[in-house]
Amino acid sequence: MSAPVAIERDGSIAVIVIDYPPVNALAHAVRTALLAAVERLDADPTVQAIVLHGVGRNFIAGADITEFDQPGQPPRLNDLLSRLEACSKPVIAALHGATLGGGAETALACHYRASASDLKLGFPEVSLGLLPGAGGTVRLPRLAGWQASLELMTGGKPVDFERALALGLIDRALDGDPRADAVAWARELVAAGASPRRLRELPPPAATPELFATWRSSLPTAARRLPAPGHIIDALQAAATRPFEQALDRARELFEECRRSDESRALRYLFFAERGSGADRDAAAAVESAGVVGAGTMGAGIAISLATAGIGVTLVDSRPESLAAGLARVTSTLEGSGRKGRMTAAAAAAAIARVRGAAGLDALAGADLVIEAVFENLAVKQELFARLGAMCGPRTVLATNTSTLDVDAIAAASGRAADVVGMHFFSPAHVMRLVEIVRGRQSSRAALATARAVTRRMGKIGVTVGNCFGFVGNRMLYAYGREKELMLLEGATPAAIDRALEEFGMAMGPNAVGDLAGLDIGYHARREWRERPDDPRFYRVSDRLAELGRYGQKTGRGFYRYEGADRRPQLDPEVLELIRQEARKLGVTEREIEDSEIVGRCICALINEGAHILEEGIAACPADIDVIWCNGYGFPRHRGGPMFHADTVGLAVVLEAVLRYQAGQGARYWTPAPLLASLAERGGSFAEWQAARAKRN
Ligand code: T1G
């Protein structure tokens, strides 16, 4: 591997070149070499200016996140950047692509900044439960002011070239080859007698304590539960009220507090878990044309995602009105994204142009990939796959978007099971980033790799799972939902259950989720479930609501009432009465249920089912389960997912709770998974278990 930092000379201009794939992260080796280069060039009288340049797809993507599980090794980034800023000759940052976190802080420590137009400059530390710990909180306000600094750092979203220029974060554009253009500019600066411009020498802009108090109080509830957003505001306030060096030290202290927090450990864990393994990338077949069968909500959403990724799509539906509605939904959604700036108008128009409609399956004969999104019924899907199997070309990969049904049974009907995989999208499919890629008994390596590659190309996270009822996500959802349904009968109200789990951090409580997704969907899926527990209490309340046509938001009544366009749930005494009636019929005694029990039973049910799923190999590792639940089911990211959360609280604590619920509720649902019991008994964790397995393989 070549040296991470090199020095190149262009006459009296020296270029420090950072080349540390894949994203020029400021790892220990890079910091050490960078410091040596700066000290050498600053001492060299033949050097009149220094250009800092990153090779590859971006300038610097930040500190090396893998190093945050250990205390930082010297040279610390703070000290390196202070040395860079102290240079006696102009230092020019030549930016391009992702310039994030420590990369943006490095740019701020330079004296002049220029950038190519593909710039993405930002401070995403908050999404890792951290704060900019190397001077960003002290230097940025001196350049961009308090408002922009608070927005950039508590929001974590990067800005593009235009916005960076408008904020004064960069001085000018780099055209053509950024390195060469930056050297030419450096030469101009030297000729003009330009001297170093150090942000530390600027006074911080005026600020009142009210500004920071207002920001603290306007933080969203979820953000207020986490250490980082508040610590960012503290660090910025320190920059407003303390001398430069003291403000730097304060930011460092606050950074260390965040780095050691469970929240940041969880978010860093998810960062790498979501990038998964790049296994089998080479086995993937190219996909330039795709077919989507079924122009309903899911079908249209899948077509939008494929078209936005640059793939030609044929949307097929034999019912003309459904096809027309599906195509209209594709067009209006993409136009809307263009209008709202989520994509450029040109990109939206190009994506719309990539989608065409067809009434017959024959239009898909030459497609590279076909994804089915028809009614969730096994016989319907088998009949369709029999026709697709016969009609599509030998290279076509066939995917089913079923959310619960047996992929092997569907694959068998196609007569070419090796080409069949599950691609379980989440609603709304053009928004939700998760796809469960279901491996059938005969799915080929190439078919699975192709499904993963297309998922990545759509900018989504693909997690490969085994085939069973509900795969990983929905199978665990049934355990989680089962407990909330039982507690409804035992006396907890829908609102109390939702509030307790939302306070735990779930994006939305399970009853409100049921109303959003449609209680009829779950009802029909449970009808299809052959191994459904023979227990009259099992989802009794949801079933009764569905049988009464209370499907949730779409019918204005479900667990809650919804008035007209107002999507806010209203309590409905009729539902409480219905639940009491069902409980009486089932002989279930009503009692007070604490929030701790609501959260405990629902979350422990998740963890215990997750352990079964790992034992059976339906999920390859605990991280896959966590990625699925954090991206598909609104599990709080700052807890890292159910399995990471279990390790954080301790498996012995989880086992003790499971056994307590067993004593109260019986062994039927509360028998500890053998993996959970054995790990807990020997003081182990799911992470250690996975590490030991990885070592054995
Ligand atoms: N550290 C270590 N590894 C990193 C990394 C980082 N900062 N960024 C990316 N990688 C790895 C990643 O795991 C993957 O590895 C490969 O690079 C490609 O990434 C002191 C405290 C830059 C926009 O939060 O947002 O600076 O899977 O698949 O889609 O104040 O990576 O190939 O083995 O994501 O093209 C702040 C994190 C750090 C930016 C590129 N910086 N990175 O996206 O590729 S904290 C960030 C990204 C900090 C200072 C603070 C993205 C990207 P592998 P990828 P991509």
488: enclosing H helix or E strand = helix 473-490
- Residue 268's pLDDT is what? 98
Ranges of H-type helices in 199-319: 209-218, 221-224, 227-241, 244-259, 262-273, 297-308
Output helix, strand, coil percentages for the chain, rounded to the nearest 5.
Answer: 55, 10, 35
List the structure tokens of 578: 């219905």
β-strands 120-122, 159-160 pairing: antiparallel
- CA dihedral of residues 502, 503, 506, 511 (deg, nearest 10): -20
Quote the percentage of the chain above a pLDDT of 70. Answer: 99
Residue with CA closest to ligand 1 atom 27: 275
Q: Whole-angstrom Cα distance, residue 277 to residue 274?
A: 9
**pLDDT of the residue at 285:** 87
Q: How far is the CA of 101 from the centre of ligand 1 (A)?
A: 10
* Residue 282 confidence class, pLDDT cut points 50, 70, 90: confident
Mean pLDDT, to the nearest integer, of 660-667?
97
Average pLDDT over residues 275-298: 86
Average of pLDDT values for 672-696?
96
Q: Please, are residues 361 and 293 in contact by the beta-carbon 8 Å criterion?
A: yes
For the chain, give the mean pLDDT. Answer: 96
State yes or no: pLDDT of 276 exceeds 80.
no
pLDDT, residue 554, reads 92
Q: Hey, what are 638's tokens?
A: 């700052």
Q: Tell me which of 85, 125, 263, 490 is the catalytic residue.
A: 125
> Closest residue (by CA) to atom 1 of ligand 1?
64
* Tens digit of each residue's pLDDT (9 = 90 or more) over 70-96: 888 999 999 999 999 999 999 999 999
Q: What pLDDT was estimated at residue 240? A: 97
From 8, 39, 67, 105, the catalytic residue: 105
Nearest residue CA, atom 18 of ligand 1?
22
The owner of tokens 């003790």 is 656
Residue 557, strand partner residues: 552, 561
pLDDT band at residue 491 under the 50/70/90 scheme: very high
Q: How remote is the CA of residue 573 from the centroid of ligand 1, in Å?
A: 50
Q: From ligand 1's centre to the CA of 681, what distance in Å?
A: 37
Segment 424-444, tens digit of pLDDT: 999 999 999 999 999 999 999
Is 490 in contact with 588 (CB distance < 8 Å)? yes
Residue nearest to atom 24 of ligand 1 (CA): 124
Catalytic site includes residue 67: no
Residue nearest to atom 47 of ligand 1 (CA): 61
- In the residue annotation, 383 being an active-site residue is answered as no
For residue 101, which atom of ligand 1 is closest to its CA? 26
CB 464 within 8 A of CB 458: no
Residues 176-195: pLDDT tens digits? 899 999 999 999 999 999 99
Atom of ligand 1 nearest to the CA of 278: 27
What are 578-609's pLDDT values in tens digits? 999 999 999 999 999 999 999 999 999 999 99
The reported pLDDT for the residue numbered 565 is 75
Which ligand 1 atom sits nearest the alpha carbon of residue 255? Answer: 21
pLDDT in the model for residue 55: 95
| Closest C-alpha residue for ligand 1 atom 54 | 275
Residue 279, pLDDT > 70, answer: no
Least confident of 37-41, 440-444, 562-566, 630-634: 562-566
Tell me what pLDDT residue 571 has.
93
Helix (H) or strand (E) holding 455: helix 445-457
- Residue 79: the pLDDT is 96
259 CA → ligand 1 middle, Å: 17
Q: What is the percent of the chain with per-residue pLDDT over 90, rounded to a whole number?
A: 92
Rounded to the nearest whole angstrom, what is the distance from the C-alpha of residue 195 to the centroid of ligand 1?
Answer: 34
Place of tokens 């026709």: 387
Q: Tell me the best of 28, 60, 65 to mutate to test the pocket of ligand 1, counting ligand atoms within 8 Å of each CB and taking the most.
A: 65
Please give, one letter per residue, the 3-state secondary structure of 125-186. HHHHCCCCCCCHHHHHHHHHHHHHHHHHHHHCCCEEHHHHHHCCCCCEECCCCHHHHHHHHH
Which pLDDT belongs to residue 672?
Answer: 98
Distance from Cα 565 to the centre of ligand 1, integer Å: 41
* Span 96-111, average pLDDT: 98
Q: What is the pLDDT of residue 530?
A: 82
Choosing from 23, 252, 265 the residue with most ligand 1 atoms within 8 A of its CB, the one to mutate for a pocket test is 23
Q: Which atom of ligand 1 is nearest to the CA of 124?
A: 24
Ligand 1 pocket list (CB less than 6 A): 22-23, 25, 58, 61-66, 77, 98, 100-102, 105, 124-125, 128, 130, 132-134, 136, 272, 275, 278
pLDDT tens per residue, range 220-275: 888 988 999 999 999 999 999 999 999 999 999 999 999 999 999 999 999 999 99
CA of 274 to the centre of ligand 1 (A): 11
The CA-atom distances, in angstroms, between 57 and each of 53, 118, 181 are 12, 10, 17
Distance 61 CA to ligand 1 centre (A): 6
Q: What is the pTM (predicted TM-score) of this model?
A: 0.95
Report the atom number in ligand 1 closest to the C-alpha of 132.
Answer: 30
Mean pLDDT of the region 635-654: 98
Q: Over 80: is that where the pLDDT of 1 sits? A: no
Higher pLDDT among residues 474 and 341, named by residue: 474
